[in-house]
């Protein structure tokens, strides 16, 4: 922050505090005791300020002293606080406290406490970790904090977010591949082909794709669609349409659909393209944490088999 804005904040803050202090102190006394104006009284004889609205009168009573002292106390608190902690412009506070400092302190403590545990599990191959319930529990916790927002709390996914508990993988289900997916992230590229193959082309190839999964379709569309497939799609999805894990192109012959199996959704995938993105976690999680969460994900398919 520049010196100008620093002083701007300091003067404004302190000025405000002294102003409200002055206000509280001067108004502690009743009006009448320090002004020699004519005494105004209500009908019942209580001194008033003379303010009267709709028959409601403002009495000229002094502030209750409990209220007054609480008020002064809060002002003193504010001044002490601003002396000890950062708050006044660039002034760092007597205690030199910072939120990052406190956070770093906590991180350091946590690392001292958990570091050795992470390290120990980090050196055990994922296959072996499946026999360590405590390690999987830690992996599950990492999953809940970092992954469940997209993949669901039980990792079953939702539209556009793959189910990680079935044995159907876009990129592959080996422990190493799962780890790579998490560390580096994944960016799927299904190009928008509507403009290339035209509206009819989209509808025909949609019918062809759906026929591969045993969904009911119109036979004449399937034939035309197959031709489109064999020119435009096989490079990524494979000649047998069973997908290609190298580029995350899904198997189009099974009954698992990332974006839905209806004519509407399948034709939308082809017409507009899809670009599912799995964020990279190499900056957020350390390698041991990735190892643990990968073990947890890996264990999900083992358990269901």
- Interacting residues with ligand HEC (CB under 6 A): 143, 146-147, 149-151, 160-162, 164, 169-171, 178, 181-182, 186, 188-191, 193, 197, 205, 209, 228-229, 232-233, 235-237, 247-250, 252, 257-259, 266, 269-270, 274-279, 281, 293, 297
Minimum distance from CB of 26 to ligand HEC (Å)?
A: 58
Q: 82 or 292: whose CB is closer to ligand HEC?
A: 292
- For ligand HEC, which residue has the nearest CB? 276
C-alpha torsion sign, points 259, 263, 264, 268: positive
Q: Is 152 left (phi over 0), alpha (psi -120 to 50) or beta?
A: left
- d(CA 79, CA 71) in angstroms, rounded, equals 13
Q: Could you give the count of Cα atoms lying within 13 Å of 126 in the half-sphere of its Cβ?
A: 23
Residue 87 or residue 276: which is nearer to ligand HEC going by CB? 276
Give me the least distance between CB of 298 and ligand HEC, in Å please: 9
Q: Least CB distance from residue 280 to ligand HEC, whole Å?
A: 10
Tokens found for residue 23: 């206000």
Cα dihedral sign for 139, 127, 278, 157? negative
User: What is the b/e burial string over 109-121, where b = at least 16 CB atoms within 10 angstroms of the residue's CB?
Assistant: eeeeeeeeebeeb
- Between 91 and 257, CB nearer to ligand HEC: 257
In this complex, which beta carbon is closest to ligand HEC, that of residue 92 or of residue 230? Answer: 230
Q: Which is nearer to ligand HEC, 82 or 294 (CB)?
A: 294
- Closest distance of CB 281 from ligand HEC, Å: 5
To the nearest whole angstrom, how small is the minimum distance from the Cβ of residue 175 to ligand HEC?
10
The distance of closest approach from Cβ of residue 297 to ligand HEC in the complex, given in angstroms and rounded to an integer, is: 5
Long-range contacts of 178-183 (CB under 8 A, 24+ apart): 178/294, 178/297, 178/298, 179/126, 179/290, 179/291, 179/294, 181/278, 182/281, 182/285, 182/290, 182/293, 182/294, 182/297, 183/280, 183/281, 183/282, 183/287, 183/290
48 versus 301: smaller Cβ distance to ligand HEC: 301
């Amino acid at each position: 922050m520049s010196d100008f804005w620093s002083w701007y904040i300091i003067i404004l803050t302190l000025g405000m505090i002294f102003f409200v202090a002055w206000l509280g102190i001067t108004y502690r006394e009743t009006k009448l005791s320090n002004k020699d104006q004519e005494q105004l009284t209500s009908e019942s004889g209580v001194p008033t300020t003379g303010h009267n609205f709709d028959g409601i009168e403002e009495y000229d009573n002094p502030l209750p002293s409990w209220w007054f002292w609480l008020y002064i106390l809060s002002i003193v608190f504010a001044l002490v606080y601003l002396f000890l902690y950062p708050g006044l412009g660039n002034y760092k506070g007597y205690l030199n406290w910072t939120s990052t400092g406190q956070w770093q302190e906590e991180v350091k403590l946590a690392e001292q406490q958990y570091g050795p545990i992470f390290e120990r599990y980090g050196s055990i191959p994922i296959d072996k970790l499946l026999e360590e319930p405590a390690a999987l529990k830690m992996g599950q916790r990492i999953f809940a904090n970092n992954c469940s927002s997209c993949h669901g709390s039980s990792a079953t996914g939702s539209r556009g977010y793959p189910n990680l508990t079935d044995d159907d993988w876009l990129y592959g289900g080996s422990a190493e591949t799962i780890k790579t997916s998490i560390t580096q992230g994944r960016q799927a590229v299904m190009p928008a082909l509507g403009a290339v193959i035209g509206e009819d082309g989209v509808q025909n190839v949609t019918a062809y794709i759906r026929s591969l999964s045993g969904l009911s379709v119109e036979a004449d569309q399937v034939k035309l669609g197959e031709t489109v497939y064999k020119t435009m799609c096989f490079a990524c999805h494979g000649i047998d349409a069973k997908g290609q894990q190298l580029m995350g192109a899904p198997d189009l012959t099974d009954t698992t659909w990332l974006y839905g199996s209806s004519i509407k959704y399948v034709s939308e995938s082809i017409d507009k393209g899809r670009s599912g993105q799995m964020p990279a976690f190499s900056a957020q999680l350390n390698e041991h944490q990735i190892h643990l969460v990968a073990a947890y994900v890996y264990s999900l398919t083992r358990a269901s088999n």
